Homo-oligomer: A and B are copies of this chain.
Amino acid sequence: MKPVTLKQIAEHLNISITTVSKALKDYSDVSPKTKALVKELAKTLNYKPNAFAVNLRTKESKTIGLIIPVIVHHFFSNVIRGIISQAEKKGYLVIILQSNESYELEKKQIDLLMSQRVDGILISLANGTANFSHLNDVLAQEKSLVMFDKIAKIVKCSKVIIDDRKAAYMATQHLIDTGCKRIAHFRGPLLPQNSIDRFLGYKKALLDNNMPYDPSLVYICECGDMSFEEGKKNAQQLLKDHNDVDGIFINTDLVAIGAMTEFNKLGVKVPEDISIVGFSNWFMSSVISPTLTTIDQPGYEMGKAAFKQLFKEMKQIKKNQPIIYKEIVLETALVKRESTR
């Protein structure tokens, strides 16, 4: 009933625990005969090393922590899938925590993971995170830390991102190329880097095309989370404020879909009256009507890349080698659909 231990195998065969341990790990100072004996008995007794004891001895648990702002989210759940698939290949397990876009929670969760002594941490920051001491603590304790998607440039660690600025530029340029003359932007909250970068890309595209940049056309999301309702609200407000807008670049597909739904209700035609470009390429965007032009953001690949980098760093720390931080930038693509002309 109780799990088999090395000791029991040793007693069965009348040899020492040491030899059993070494036999199972193919040490060279165990004779082939005893190796065979030990391995056979281990298999018939269904021996599984006690992970707790191994962890204590080796000081590692083959487990990493993952903190993301939200789980029910097309992009993030794809990231999770990417991370887990890669981790499994390397024999690592993944503990997932949801920060709920809250800095306080994020901090607590980092603490939790550290006291569980995970081997490394992957994190995409909460929108509210402006203080980074909890992250620097992790690095100070010589644990590997890799940030992805929502990062903080100021923290000295590896990062996996897309070029948000360039992608936003592409999106806006597409609106311009298809004839839009007055283009609004629904941006995310103020803090996160990718929200800032997308805004900057939007702005640059306008200026590069000799179009005026009008701050009143930029709608900031104060509420903190980028929701469907947010899109509806902004759409209403936009129609009140500016009846001459003929294109919008929207920070996230979900918000874009909210806006389109509202426009549809109010009789505003997309793309005839207003063209819309979203961001992230949620699956949903390909089945609504009209289908949504958007920027494809490779979540699965991002998850894979983030784990791969973390894995490298964990190995470097183990070998006491200096850690080389990297910034990995993944490619995005414009997906043209029916919401633009």
**Which of A120-128, A284-292, A309-317 binds B?**
A284-292
Whether, in the assembled complex, A86 has its beta carbon less than 8 Å from a beta carbon of chain B, the answer is: no
A239 to chain B minimum Cβ distance, whole angstroms, is: 19
Complex Cα gap A51–B289 (Å): 52
Distance of A142 Cα from B114 Cα, bound (Å): 29
A222 CA to B54 CA in the complex, in Å? 44
A63 to B59, CA, bound (A): 18
B residues within 8 A CB of A289? 264, 288-289
Stretch at the interface among A95-103, A194-202, A210-218: A95-103
Q: A81-B71, A94-B96 are in contact. Are A51 and B117 (CB under 8 A)?
A: yes
**Of A1, A112, A287, A289, most B-chain CB atoms within 10 Å:** A287
**In the complex, chain B residues whose CB is within 8 Å of the CB of A96:** 80, 84, 94-96
Total contacting residues, chain A, CB less than 8 A: 46
Contact across chains for B50 and A117 when beta carbons are under 8 A apart: yes
The B-contacting residues of A in range 1-46, CB under 8 angstroms, are 1, 3
**Chain B residue at smallest Cβ distance from A85:** B98
Pairs A-B, 8 closest by C-beta atoms = A52-B56, A52-B55, A72-B77, A48-B115, A289-B289, A284-B284, A93-B95, A71-B81
A→B interface (CB under 8 Å): 1, 3, 48-53, 55-56, 59, 61, 63, 71-74, 77-78, 80-81, 84-85, 88, 93-98, 112, 114-117, 141-142, 228, 257, 261, 264, 283-284, 287-289
19 pairs, A vs B, C-beta closer than 8 Å: A1-B142, A51-B115, A52-B52, A52-B56, A52-B61, A71-B77, A72-B74, A72-B77, A72-B81, A73-B77, A77-B77, A80-B96, A81-B98, A95-B95, A96-B96, A228-B287, A288-B288, A288-B289, A289-B289
